[in-house]
Structure 1
Amino acid sequence: MIITDALTPARRETVRALAERARLHDGIGPLDEAALLALDDPTVGATHLLVEAGATGTQTGADGTEAADGDDADADLHGYASVLADGTIQGMVDPQHRRRGHGSALLEAALEATASPAVWAHGALAAALALLTSRGLVPTRDLLTMRRPLDAEHPVPAIPAVRDAQVQLGTIDLPRELERWVEVNALAFADHPEQGALTAEDFTRRTAQDWFDAADVHVARREDRMIGFVWIKREQPGQDVDPAQPGDAQPGDAPPLDAQPSDAEVYVVATDPAEQGRGIAGALLTTALHRLQDQGVPAVELYVEADATAAVGLYERWGFTVSGRDVQLRPERV
């Protein structure tokens, strides 16, 4: 097993290819956005664990160079796990190399790599949950995926008026509103373990991704001061390429002219707590849904904590239904 805090470009691509093979097999991506971003950025403090064909023992590179530049740089990758700085663990094993102990080995090493492990079972797959619970981990978070079609049979309702005539809707003005975005996000998610901790650097890192479009960050302002926002994420169409059959497509290529839009994601919904109760989130979300529907996006999804009953009920009234589930597990406290 290789343990490193930095990956060479070649290994980053093998991890991405493995993640795509796992997604196609399991129907769910094994790595969340934070883990994917950590593949490229060694400054975020992630630890990478890799099981490669033919590798024996454990190789550790304190700065990534010793382990990452060895003779196995082009070896087949059988398994991978990510340990983020906050203790979040997630990973996958190649579908063709499962039931050989790779998952157990990665899990044990990942648990030893952090003092506060929190392991995601994306999709709540039965085999993953069985492995994690067999190691004494217990569920502590339940994250729902909710989806809403945007076809003609599911029309988006009219944009409701905000109950404050001074509030104006628009799109984000960068870089002018960057710091205010961070403030509103922190206020809205003060009790959220991940979202509320995002910094200006985290925001900028996401705006550098191919999918970012400032026109998809809808904001509400009073007297030119942001008080709420809805951020939509849309991957480029035509990018779901089978890594086993890549053809001529390459990462970053422009989509084909006949590519159809893929589902969008309601990435973040946030309102300054001092401004809640005026219908700001509803007006922003409906505005965003109208734009997506007008552009032919087939559906939109979002993620919400299962125990956030008020939010779940609100999304259900907007036409969203539960379509998936992720479970986070931690060691049981004695």
Structure 2
Amino acid sequence: MPQAVATGVPDEPTRAAIRRLADDIEQSDGAPPLSDQALSHLGSADVAHLVASDDGRLIGYAQRDGATLELATEPTAVDLVLDAATSTGTLAWTHGRRSRLVSAFEARGYVEIRQLHQLRRPLDATHPLPADPPLADDIVVRAFEPGRDEQEWLAVNAAAFAHHPEQGDMTLTDLRARMAESWFDADGFLLAERGDELLGFHWTKVHADGNGEVYVLGVAPGAQGLGLGNGLLVRGLHHLERRGCPTVLLYVDGDNTGAIRLYEKAGFASYDTDVQWQLS
């Protein structure tokens, strides 16, 4: 009989099964059901884990970080996992408009409180990139150096995303977990400096399907107005172009109108939407 139980940190075979389930859901629903944050925490004791199984076969997984919940479930296990994992005040994500969880959340009285838009831009001869925008002569753009740049990057990231619910709270443990992922490439993690001061950064990512991502683009509050947002964006896009990425994607909050304008000017257009829901 199917059952869902809270568990400790999943062992490696269980983590592998969760990743396979997430891959299957992505193929069916058109978007990964778990964020990079959730995937990086599969082996973490700092979040709560729940596993649903049927005769020893994994059919669902839920991860709770404080009030925030992310789920990956087979269609038949959605209600089972939600019954076991949710309570009043729960915040939960659906990834993509085709997510199998949308109708389940609506039926249970969840309300939409936040939208995270996915934008995309092709990288091909019919959509050429502009030349790198000029920066001040004393600003240098270089690649991230593991073992040297972590703490300063964390400080600037926290300041740049002080009001962002997830990105601004990234810890050294979170950063190291991302750096341990197979996709991490320090050469695609661009830092803009003036002397020893970090002013901004563009962290790019290449997905397994070959598409690139503007993973995180941030500018220190004191460095606003120097043209770093567009300057770093274009330089990162050129890096992804050199990597052979046919398309670049990114995620941006629906209320971040300044960032949306920046990306639209760079040729990005709406592609899909993630939604955060709350159970009241």
* Correspondences of 1:213-232 after superposition (within 5 Å): 213-232=185-204
Distance (whole Å) between structure 2 residues aligned to residue 92 and residue 207 of structure 1:
23
Query: Normalising to structure 2: TM-score of the pair?
Result: 0.93
Match of 2:177 in 1: 205
How far has the Cα of 1:281 moved from its partner?
1.6
- C-alpha change, 1:88 and 1:286, in structure 2 (3 Å) is same
Distance (whole Å) between structure 1 residues aligned to residue 194 and residue 81 of structure 2:
50
Considering only aligned residues, what root-mean-square deviation do their CA atoms show, in Å?
Answer: 1.6
Distance (whole Å) between structure 1 residues aligned to residue 259 and residue 147 of structure 2:
30
What amino acid sits opposite 1:117 in the alignment?
T
* 2:212 pairs with one of 264, 282, 301: 264
Match of 2:26 in 1: 23
The structure richer in strand per residue is 2
Number of residue pairs aligned between Structure 1 and Structure 2:
277
- C-alpha change, 1:79 and 1:318, in structure 2 (3 Å) is same
Give the conservation status (yes or no) of the 8 Å contact 2:205–2:213.
Answer: yes
How far has the Cα of 1:9 moved from its partner?
1.6
Distance (whole Å) between structure 2 residues aligned to residue 126 and residue 211 of structure 1:
25
Distance (whole Å) between structure 2 residues aligned to residue 89 and residue 81 of structure 1:
7
Match of 1:108 in 2: 83
Distance (whole Å) between structure 2 residues aligned to residue 235 and residue 23 of structure 1:
13
Distance (whole Å) between structure 2 residues aligned to residue 210 and residue 179 of structure 1:
22
* 1:134 pairs with one of 107, 127, 130: 107
Match of 1:48 in 2: 49
* 2:41 pairs with one of 38, 42, 45: 38
How far has the Cα of 1:11 moved from its partner?
1.3
Match of 2:125 in 1: 152
Between structure 1 and structure 2, the one with the greater Rg is: 1
Runs of 4 or more consecutive aligned structure 1 residues displaced over 4 Å after TM superposition: none
* 2:16 pairs with one of 13, 16, 20: 13
Relative to structure 2, which stretch is displaced further, 272-281 or 285-294?
285-294
Give the conservation status (yes or no) of the 8 Å contact 1:5–1:46.
Answer: no
- C-alpha change, 1:316 and 1:48, in structure 2 (3 Å) is same
Deviation string 1:138-166 (CA, Å, 9 cap, x unpaired) is: 1111000011111111111011112x332
Match of 1:254 in 2: none
Distance (whole Å) between structure 1 residues aligned to residue 99 and residue 216 of structure 2:
29
Distance (whole Å) between structure 2 residues aligned to residue 124 and residue 138 of structure 1:
15
Deviation string 1:211-259 (CA, Å, 9 cap, x unpaired) is: 111111111111132110000011356xxxxxxxxxxxxxxxxxxxxxx
- What are structure 2's unaligned runs of at least 5 residues? none
- C-alpha change, 1:212 and 1:138, in structure 2 (3 Å) is same
* Alignment pair present for 1:83 and 2:71: no
Distance (whole Å) between structure 1 residues aligned to residue 62 and residue 149 of structure 2:
36
Deviation string 1:26-70 (CA, Å, 9 cap, x unpaired) is: 11111111111121223xx2222222113xxxxxxxxxxxxxxxx
* Alignment pair present for 1:325 and 2:273: yes
What amino acid sits opposite 1:81 in the alignment?
A
Deviation string 1:102-141 (CA, Å, 9 cap, x unpaired) is: 21221122114xx742100111336522211221211111
Distance (whole Å) between structure 1 residues aligned to residue 232 and residue 5 of structure 2:
46
* 1:3 pairs with one of 2, 6, 9: 6
* Alignment pair present for 1:235 and 2:191: no
How far has the Cα of 1:193 moved from its partner?
0.9
Match of 1:143 in 2: 116
